[in-house]
Structures are given as structure tokens and as C-alpha cells.
């Protein structure tokens, strides 16, 4: 079993109710898309956090990433809405 | 993966623009142009009490570093300085500073413009609005115009 850190920011953090957590990745979760699908089954707050699929961005180990990116070797996966800095 | 680069700061404190320009020019005779951009918090016609800037510690620094390095490959810069604030920011207060220095003005102007366009769409910061009437604050939505502004650099580059 692989353990990774998940981090949530902005309204995705508010919806999940937690800024970060350590989870054991299920064996059948291999990429970001699969991880989102699994997270949505963990409860209504997670389903709500990820329901607006087009507004969810992801970073693996603090680098912007895509939905089809593999999770092998990842230590930290972060989810956040489109950025509004500057 | 937090970076420890002197040209990039992610901080709660305000910044001193004159001191930052001085740091890129003092003791040098090869710098012919310095461009600065300062982003400030608007009050949106009196509606806004404050902005709250959330960021992703570590990645914010790292992503700004990647954008700065990209600017350095595109333009002949003698120096760059980027400061992005986080936390609660009142109307009129500073949010972001970009300083670019070069031998000639066009590189300094263009690099500063590029840096701001890329920071807005790539640096992990999120703005939440606190309203003056005390009502529930909302998260600022990303603008398509910001994506288009960033995209033009790949179209022309």
C-alpha cells in the first residue's frame, strides 16, 4: 500500500473541510483521474468538492499536472481551483 | 520543494519598491532600464473590505521560480525580482511586485508583462473577498482574459 499526502486549497479545502491528510492509496488507483473518482466515494463533502470537474486543478509534488498523470512515486498530490493571484 | 532564491519572495509583509530597484542597480553600469509592476488591492467601488490571499507554501515559490527562469531564457535580463504577498490585504495595499532590469527598455517591459501574465495563471494563489457590508465572502473566479493574456506568449514565442 502506498501512503501519500493530499492537500486541498481555497474552496476545495472549504468543501472537504480539511487542508491536508495522509491516505493509503487503493491498489486500483493509478492516476489522478482515478484518485478523484475514489475520493468522491469517500463522502458527500468530497463528492461536493470535486463535482465541478472543470474547475479542479492538480499538482503532483508541487508541479502542475494533468488528469492522466500516473501517481507512482508521488509523495504529495494537491487539488485547487484555477489560480487567481497576481 | 521550497526554493531559497534571493530573487523570489512569498511573504506576508509589504515591500519597499525603491529598495528593490536599488538592489538590482546599485554598483552596476550595465543596466539601462528597470521596469516595475506593482499590483494593488482595489476596493471595487467601496464594496470590498479586504482580500485574503491563500497560497500553497513551497509550490508558490517553486512555480514563480520556474516562470522567472523562463523569462530569463526569453529576454537578456540583468536582474529580476518577484515578491508576492499572502494573507489579509486591505484596499490600497500591495499584493505583488515584479521588477525587471536589462540593458534596454523593451526587454525589461516585455519580461515584466510576461511575468505578470504567467504568475496570474500559474502561481498557486487564491483570492477570497471580504465585503464591507460584512456579508459572506466569496472566492474570486479566474478570468478567461487572464488565460488568453498568458497564451499570447506561447503563440508569439
For the segment B94-149, what is each residue's pLDDT rounded down to a tens digit? Answer: 999 999 999 999 999 999 999 999 999 999 999 999 999 988 679 999 988 888 98
Shortest CA gap B29–chain A (Å) = 31
For the segment B59-76, what is each residue's pLDDT rounded down to a tens digit? Answer: 999 999 999 999 999 999
CA distance A77 to B8: 24
> Is B121 touching A (CB cutoff 8 A)?
yes
From chain B, pick out residues whose CB is under 8 angstroms from the CB of A61.
1
pLDDT at B83 over 80: yes
Shortest CA gap B19–chain A (Å) = 21
Give pLDDT, residue B3.
62
Q: Which of A17, A59, A42, A1 is nearest to B55 (CA)?
A: A59
SS3 state of residue B49:
strand
The ipTM value here is 0.95
Beta strands B87-89 and B48-55 are antiparallel
* Cα nearest neighbour of A62 on chain B: B59
pLDDT-derived band at B157 (thresholds 50, 70, 90) equals very low
Block means of pLDDT (10 residues each) for chain A, 86 residues, are 93 98 96 97 97 95 96 96 95
CA distance B1 to B108: 29
pTM confidence score? 0.94
Amino acid at each position: 500500500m502506498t501512503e501519500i499526502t493530499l492537500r486541498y486549497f481555497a474552496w476545495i479545502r472549504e468543501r472537504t473541510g480539511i487542508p491536508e491528510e495522509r491516505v493509503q492509496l487503493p491498489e486500483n488507483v493509478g492516476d489522478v483521474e482515478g484518485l478523484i473518482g475514489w475520493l468522491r466515494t469517500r463522502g458527500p463533502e468530497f463528492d461536493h468538492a470535486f463535482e465541478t470537474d472543470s474547475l479542479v486543478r492538480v499538482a503532483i509534488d508541487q508541479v502542475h499536472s494533468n488528469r492522466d498523470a500516473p501517481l507512482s512515486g508521488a509523495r504529495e498530490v494537491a487539488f485547487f481551483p484555477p489560480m487567481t493571484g497576481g | 520543494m521550497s526554493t531559497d532564491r534571493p530573487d523570489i519572495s512569498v511573504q506576508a509583509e509589504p515591500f519597499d519598491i525603491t529598495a528593490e530597484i536599488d538592489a538590482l542597480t546599485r554598483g552596476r553600469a550595465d543596466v539601462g532600464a528597470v521596469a516595475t509592476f506593482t499590483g494593488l488591492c482595489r476596493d471595487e467601488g467601496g464594496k470590498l473590505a479586504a482580500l485574503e490571499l491563500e497560497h500553497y507554501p513551497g509550490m508558490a515559490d517553486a512555480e514563480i521560480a520556474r516562470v522567472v527562469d523562463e523569462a530569463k531564457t526569453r529576454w537578456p535580463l540583468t536582474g529580476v525580482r518577484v515578491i508576492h504577498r499572502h494573507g489579509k490585504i486591505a484596499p490600497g495595499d500591495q499584493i505583488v511586485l515584479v521588477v525587471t532590469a536589462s540593458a534596454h527598455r523593451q526587454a525589461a517591459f516585455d519580461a515584466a508583462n510576461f511575468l505578470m501574465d504567467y504568475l496570474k495563471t500559474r502561481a498557486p494563489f487564491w483570492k477570497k473577498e471580504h465585503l464591507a457590508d460584512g456579508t459572506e465572502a466569496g472566492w474570486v473566479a479566474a478570468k478567461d482574459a487572464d488565460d488568453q493574456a498568458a497564451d499570447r506568449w506561447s503563440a508569439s514565442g
